[in-house]
Amino acid sequence: MTLVRLLPRAALSRAVGAATRVPAPGGLHRAAIRGFARAYRVELEEAELPVKGYRTFSDFFSRRLKDGARAVDVRERVVVSPVDGAVSEAGIIEGGECLQAKGLAFPVAELLGDAAEARAFAEGGSFATLYLSPRDYHRVHAPLGGAILGWRYLPGELWPVNPASVRTVRGLFALNERLVTWLETAAGRCAVVMVGATCVGRLRATYADVVGESGSPSASETFATPLPVAKGAELGRFEMGSTVILLFGPERVVWDAGLRPGARVTMGRRLGELS
């Protein structure tokens, strides 16, 4: 972690992000994709396109999946995973804070950048933190159907979000850049928080023209007319990868017993249900 503290994380992330968006001469990016897929055991057969169909490495990293690759649990009371990944932590918000790792927590108000909005979750609400590794599918989807109320982009640090950093950097998820999407659902108000990290080139919403990247100013929008959204519909994507945090209000959602640190989840799979 000492080396990471010394690195120019913002400049490095901008450079890596820009490099991944440039078509490499001679198809070098396709060789990089194949090498990356081998190293991280990416399931290429699930991708929407063959390797040769991706113009840049970034296009591949933020790839769509083939139709039917993920089944969404459509039962009305079921909350589904917005991403493929692994559970970092999940539980109840206490004293306005979410558990980050043993001995560490992060404040909901700082995560959301809005103390007034945080009050809807800050005492007794439910949270789930889901980590996306390099091998994972990097698009983010709605955990319940309802309406998109608006969004907020919060610039910040670009610490790594791997398990080693989560265990050592206090308040990590409230320090890094974030893109918050506000939903109104059958479980009431919900926040879907995309958290950036070192070498995450961009956080992009797909329901509006919203792109957050290192160096962008803070911004927000509340829609005059909320946008309808179906359970499992796409909300955004990471151009390189990171973490998603779900927040629900008190006594709205009960997580399944198997939602424990290290458990694998896939987009559309049940995480819990309305209480």
pLDDT on residue 10: 45
| Residue 207 token pair | 């329901």
Whole-number pLDDT of residue 148 = 98
The pLDDT assigned to 22 comes to 56
Give the tens place of pLDDT for each residue, 13-31. Answer: 444 445 455 565 567 778 8
What pLDDT is recorded for position 168?
A: 82
Q: Where are the domains of the chain?
A: 2-61, 78-274
104 has pLDDT over 70? yes
Q: What is the model's pLDDT at position 23? A: 62
Confidence band, pLDDT 50/70/90 cuts, at residue 138: very high
- Give the pLDDT confidence of 87-97 residue by residue, as tens digits: 999 999 999 99
84 is catalytic: yes
9-23, 198-212, 216-230 — which one is most confidently predicted on average?
216-230
pLDDT score of 259 more than 90: yes
Q: Does 156 score more than 90 pLDDT?
A: no
Confidence of residue 210 (pLDDT cuts 50, 70, 90): confident
Residue 67 annotated to the active site: no
What is the chain's mean pLDDT, rounded?
A: 88
Which residues are CB-contacts of 59 (< 8 A; sequence separation ≥ 6)?
none
pLDDT tier at 205 (50, 70, 90 boundaries)? Answer: very high
Q: Which of 88, 138, 141, 214 is an active site residue?
A: 141
Q: Which of 2-11, 123-132, 161-170, 264-273 bottoms out in mean pLDDT, i.e. has the lowest? A: 2-11
Would you state the pLDDT for residue 125?
97
Average pLDDT over residues 248-252: 97
Q: Which of 62, 126, 214, 242 is catalytic?
A: 242
Residue 116: predicted pLDDT: 93
Residue 235 near residue 82, CB atoms below 8 Å: yes
Catalytic, 59? Answer: no
- pLDDT at position 31 is 87
Write down the pLDDT at residue 82: 98
| Alpha carbon separation from 21 to 3, 48, 91, 240 (Å, rounded) | 27, 19, 37, 11
> Which among 58, 84, 136, 214 is annotated as catalytic?
84
Q: Is the pLDDT of residue 165 over 60?
A: yes
User: pLDDT tens digits for 66-76?
Assistant: 999 999 999 99
**Confidence at 12, pLDDT banded by 50, 70, 90:** very low
